[in-house]
Amino acid sequence: MKIFIEPRMITLKHGDQLRERFPKIAFTADPEDGENVDALFCHPSYAIKENLDRYPSLSWVQIMMAGFNTADLRELFRRGITVTNMKDIFHLSVAEDVFTKILAINRNVRHYFEMMHSGTWEPIRHEPEIYGSLVGILGAGSIGSAVATRMKSFGAQTIGWRRKNAPSGGFDEIVTGRYGLEKVMAESDYVVITLPLSEETDHLIGAREIDLMKPNAVIINVGRGEVLDQEALVEALRHGKIRGAGLDVTTPEPLPADHPLWHLPGVFITPHNASSSPFVWPRIVAVLEQNIALRLAGKTLVNIVEE
């Protein structure tokens, strides 16, 4: 078996770990060394026709991220290639990031940092609580479920929106369809976007959906920037239609220094870093080792992306 590992997607340390674990496998980091390559471990944007043509023996692509919207899935499936991703690897750190953003906005952290720099004692006496609130989560996968489960410890109720009406851990209610989406937007005190980008989710949340939100509601986006209409969000914040927004993803990325979102009140932005954790790499390598072992044994891989 021969595996190409895109160099930017793995550290030297963890690449060596795979080589030690599977000494009989030929690993290559040379994109031109395509002969007899059975598998690619790569960024989703690498899995496009131009690159796939280099690997005539390819039968498996391991996407090294949870999202795969930039991969050419249509071409991969047409070739009969098995595609797997890093589902359930980043959900714990991303869920904690959601709480960071909500609490930073609720507790006016940005204001207090500014007061610290000037040595000013200026308390804000009315700061919202998560307790008793309704949290609407768009996307009831591993990230959404991790957020919902943790909301219970804060005393919040949770409602999840997903494509299929199927149960998911941590949610008090699951809704679907257009009616369900509008229900989440209109009734939630916090709207959390955990959705991947697809044709169905591109600009799913626009001016019409934001207008449904409560004036004291907060929107959090840790999914993909394109899911949320950023210009509509700016207008809503400028006119006080919603209380705030916590964003880990934007369009474009990096967000230009002169973009109004940097300066609007009630906004907390991080640079697409919600998954940051010292435990992410061990989890990634564990999935790689598991899937390689399953492949060698002729068994079904984990985290298969369905057509």
Catalytically active residues are 224, 253, 272
Rg (CA), the chain: 21
Sheet containing 267-269: order of strands: 173-175, 157-161, 134-138, 190-193, 218-221, 244-247, 267-269
Name the residue among 16, 18, 76 with its Cα closest to residue 45. Answer: 76
Cβ atoms of 11 and 41 within 8 Å: the answer is no
Asked whether the beta carbons of 262 and 255 are under 8 A apart, the reply is: yes
> What residues pair up with 92 in beta bridges, in sequence order?
none
Torsion angle of the four alpha carbons 269, 274, 276, 279, in this order, in degrees rounded to the nearest 10: 160
Element (H, E) at 284: helix 280-296
Which residues have C-beta within 8 Å of that of residue 71, sequence separation ≥ 6?
A: 44, 45, 46, 47, 48, 61, 63, 83
Cα–Cα distance for residue pair 253/296, rounded to 1 Å: 39
Contacts of 282 (CB under 8 A, 6+ apart): none
**Residue 300 corresponds to which tokens in the numbers above?**
């079904």
For 214, half-sphere exposure in the C-beta direction (CA atoms, 13 angstrom radius) is 14
Quick check: 307 and 68 in contact, CB under 8 A?
no
Q: What is the token pair recorded at 115?
A: 């007061």
Cα 141 to Cα 143: distance, rounded to the nearest angstrom: 6
Given the structure tokens 């391991």, which residue do they identify? 62
